[in-house]
Amino acid sequence: MKRQNGFSLIELLIVVAIILVIAAIAIPNLLRARISANESSAAASVRKIATAEVAYTTTYPNVGYAAAIANLGGANPCSPNSVTACILDEVLTTGLKSGYQFNALSFGGPPTTTFVTGAAPSNFNITGVRDFCITTDGVLRTNPGFAGAAPPPDVATCQAYALAQ
């Protein structure tokens, strides 16, 4: 009798089953790691926006803080003015980055005297699970998100969030 080379069907099925078990264990961990990375990026971006707001009000004291996130950036090549300050990059000033939506709003004035900037996941439980915000006081705050949440629309909403740790 001739001996055949190769694997039997049973051996191949066992290998496929082992691969599926490993994938079932690994995929949720990868998704959690992705959410964590998106949240870290969102927190850093909110800090950048807050820093840009301070730079904006220093540069344009008659205006105060920027009225919208778009006023902090501008398309390349950028000419700095109060409508496009060229402080933030083009990606962040679109209001969407790393699975989060961002806003920056100012209040009072003119010149405006307070601002709020925030971020909320675009797809809750897929791109992130927490909201972030900063007001004029410069303190990062966080809140457990929920499906359909938007970045905080005012200072009072942001100040109701817990301090980030």
For the stretch 20-45, pLDDT in tens is: 998 888 888 888 899 999 999 999 99
The domain locations on the chain are 9-163
Task: Give the pLDDT of residue 2.
Answer: 67
Helix H or strand E segment including 96: strand 96-97
Q: Please, what is the average pLDDT of the chain?
A: 91
Q: Is the pTM of this model over 0.85?
A: no
How far from chain centre, in Å, is Cα 130? 10
pLDDT tens digit sequence for 133-153:
999 999 999 999 888 889 999
By CB atoms closer than 10 A (0-12, 13-18, 19+), residue 3 is exposed
At 1, the pLDDT band (50, 70, 90 cuts) reads: low
pLDDT for residue 56: 95
Q: What is residue 69's predicted lDDT score, i.e. its pLDDT?
A: 94
